[in-house]
C-alpha cells in the first residue's frame, strides 16, 4: 500500500508540472478556461483543484488500490492535453 501512495504522489508532482506548463502557455483557449476558474476561485484556482484531486486520490488509496489506476488515467489525460496543446502551436 505504501508503494501506491508514493506512485500517486509522484504522479501528482508530474500533474502540477503539467498544470503549470498549460497555464503558462499563451494559447487563447487555455487562457479563457483559466480565467473562468480564476473568477470564482482566485489566481491559484487551477493549483487548488489539482491539490484537491491529489488529496482525494491519496485518501482513496488507503481504502482501495484502484485509486492508482484512476489517478493514472487522469495523469495520462493531462499529458495528452499538454501534448495536443504544444502541437497546436
Which has the closest alpha carbon to 68: 21, 22, 19, 10?
Answer: 10
C-alpha to C-alpha distance for 61 and 51, rounded to whole angstroms:
15
pLDDT in tens, 37-74: 888 888 888 899 999 999 999 999 988 889 999 999 99
Grid cell digits, residue 85: 496543446
Number of domains in the chain: 1
Name the pTM for this structure. Answer: 0.86
Name all contacts of 81-88 with Cβ < 8 Å and 24+ positions apart: 81/18, 81/22, 82/18, 82/21, 82/22, 85/22, 85/25, 85/27, 85/30, 86/25, 88/27
Confidence of residue 1 (pLDDT cuts 50, 70, 90): low
Residue 20 domain boundaries: 2-87
Confidence of residue 82 (pLDDT cuts 50, 70, 90): very high
Grid cell digits, residue 40: 470564482
Amino acid at each position: 500500500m505504501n508503494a501506491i501512495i508514493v506512485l500517486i504522489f509522484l504522479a501528482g508532482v508530474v500533474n502540477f508540472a503539467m498544470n503549470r506548463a498549460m497555464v503558462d502557455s499563451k494559447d487563447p483557449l487555455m487562457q479563457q478556461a483559466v480565467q473562468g476558474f480564476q473568477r470564482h476561485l482566485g489566481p491559484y484556482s487551477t493549483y487548488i483543484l489539482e491539490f484537491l484531486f491529489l488529496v482525494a486520490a491519496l485518501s482513496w488509496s488507503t481504502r482501495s488500490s484502484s485509486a492508482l489506476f484512476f489517478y493514472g488515467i487522469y495523469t495520462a489525460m493531462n499529458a495528452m492535453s499538454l501534448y495536443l496543446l504544444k502541437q497546436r502551436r
